Structure 1
Amino acid sequence: MSTFKNPVGPQPPSVYWRRRAVLALGLIAVVVIIVLIVVRPGSGSAEPGAAATTSAPPADTAPSEPAPTETAPAADATADPADTSTEGASDAPACSTRSIELKPVTDKTSYAATELPQISMSITNSGRSDCSIDLGSAQQTLVISSGEEQYWSSKDCQVNGTNQVVTLTAGQTLSTPPIAWDRTRSSADTCESTSREPVTAGGATYRLAVSVGDITSADTAQMILN
């Protein structure tokens, strides 16, 4: 005898609701699967850097080389020996004769036969205030004499003497560079001579006097030539 697994005719409402629930779940599953397939992780992102825009290379911001500027060459700092113009002008008043003390200077007082006296002068501002004075070589004079006779003068063979105004502070002393006296007579006529007449030695006494412009040393320096 055969039996029927599914009855023929209308079924209870619960059966229809179960079928509908199963069908709805199936549809939901299908929709979820489709969504997962379409919207999968990384599927919609572009490759790294693909969206980057190409920018123009930055302009060179380094400063351009400045155009060289031409400058005039510096003037020669060496003074022309023949220039006798006054240099180093000062606002200090001119030194008076009374405020300047000149002193003749020798390196020794007695010289052997082979020794040459080294002569110079010192200039002192004995006043109470600063003053200016021309101490250029054109103003300096050194004279060697014995008794009343003059034997040698720095002016006889001087060339290209210069002027130089110097400010002396109160109490200041300046010294000129020493020069060697060759123990001969000097004159403007024998400056180029290589055989000028020697002065007498053997214990003879000579005196050095100095001057700057119109100012003359009050004393002389004695030296003995052996």
Structure 2
Amino acid sequence: MTGTPARRRHSPAVYRRRRLVLIITLLVIAGVIWLLIAQPWRGWGAESTGDDAKPQSQNTATSLPVPTSPQPNPTGTGTGAVEGAVVEGTSTPSATPGATPTAQPCVAGDIVVEPVTTQDSYTGDQSPQFLISLTNNGADCTLNVGTSAQSFTVTSGSDTWWRSTDCQSEPSDMIVLLGAGQTVTSAAPLTWDRTRSAVGTCDDPTRPRAPGGGSSYHLAVEIGGIASTQSKQFLLY
């Protein structure tokens, strides 16, 4: 009688391969389950629009920079800078390179520009000091408030005595964001040495001096292409 042939036992290598295939299959199934639960692709879109990709907003104005200009030196040994030529609470000119404005340029009709003097009158040993006040009565907007966009003019009657732009040194741009209803002023006053200005006489120590004795003068200012609608009167003694 012929019996059933005995089953041939597989070699240990076959069992090892089978176990390896089973382990790999289980790992693949576990990976698929993790992908369905974690869904890591959800963060890819957020990463592409994260902080590095977001357009940077303009710096918000906190104060206005102050123009500098050489002053006549009585000794003839050089020039000096206008007093108070500093910038407080503002960034470097032109704000952040590559910044994208978060608002439209300011509309002249929404901006009120006013000249400001530190005193109503100045005695013979005092030099008048000037500032600019800027108020945004419209929506948030951007404006160039840099020293290149500022102008201070002193007149007496029809006679123009002094312009800050005649001897201004190293003017620069500064685009800032003006918030709705925001008012900003110069970081520090600009000083007038009470002499007549003209291009080409910036280093001349013999420039004519403005008469005192109660003489009346008017300050007008302009910033970002927007001029003050009224001048500010002050007296020299």
> TM-score higher than 0.5 here?
yes
Structure 1 match to 2:118: 107
Kindly name which structure, 1 or 2, has the bigger radius of gyration based on alpha carbons: 1
Amino acid at match of 2:115: P
Structure 2 match to 1:201: 212
User: What secondary structure sits across from 1:138 in the alignment?
Assistant: helix
Q: Deviations for 1:117-176, whole angstroms, at most 9, x for unmatched residues? A: 11111111011x100000000000000001111100000001210000010101101111
How much does 1:201 deviate?
A: 1.0
Structure 1 match to 2:38: none
CA distance in 2, matches of 1:179, 1:165: 21
CA distance in 1, matches of 2:136, 2:122: 31
Q: Deviations for 1:39-88, whole angstroms, at most 9, x for unmatched residues? A: xxxxxxxxxxxxxxxxxxxxxxxxxxxxxxxxxxxxxxxxxxxxx97334
Percentage identity across paired residues of the two chains:
38
**Aligned Cα RMSD in Å?**
1.8
Amino acid at match of 1:172: Q
Query: Residue 214 of structure 1 is aligned with which of 225, 228, 231?
Result: 225
CA distance in 1, matches of 2:189, 2:93: 24
In structure 1, list runs of 5 or more residues that go unmatched: 1-83
Structure 2 match to 1:86: 94
CA distance in 2, matches of 1:168, 1:218: 20
Structure 2 match to 1:139: 149
CA distance in 2, matches of 1:160, 1:116: 23
Q: Deviations for 1:164-194, whole angstroms, at most 9, x for unmatched residues? A: 0010101101111211111110011110112
How much does 1:208 deviate?
A: 0.2
Q: Deviations for 1:17-46, whole angstroms, at most 9, x for unmatched residues? A: xxxxxxxxxxxxxxxxxxxxxxxxxxxxxx
CA distance in 2, matches of 1:213, 1:143: 15
Matched, 1:161 2:139: no
How much does 1:198 deviate?
A: 0.2
Structure 1 match to 2:236: 225
Amino acid at match of 1:217: S
Matched, 1:122 2:133: yes
Matched, 1:179 2:214: no
CA distance in 1, matches of 2:223, 2:154: 15
User: What secondary structure sits across from 1:156 in the alignment?
Assistant: coil
State TM-score, norm by structure 2: 0.58
**Moved segments of 4+, more than 6 Å:** none
Structure 2 match to 1:170: 180
How much does 1:195 deviate?
A: 2.3
Task: Work out which structure has the larger RCO, using CA pairs closer than 8 Å and 6 or more positions apart in sequence.
Answer: 2
In structure 2, list runs of 5 or more residues that go unmatched: 1-91
User: What secondary structure sits across from 2:143 in the alignment?
Assistant: strand
Structure 2 match to 1:151: 161
CA distance in 1, matches of 2:133, 2:225: 16
Amino acid at match of 1:114: D
Q: Which structure shows the bigger proportion of residues in helix conformation?
A: 2
State TM-score, norm by structure 1: 0.60
CA distance in 1, matches of 2:223, 2:143: 9
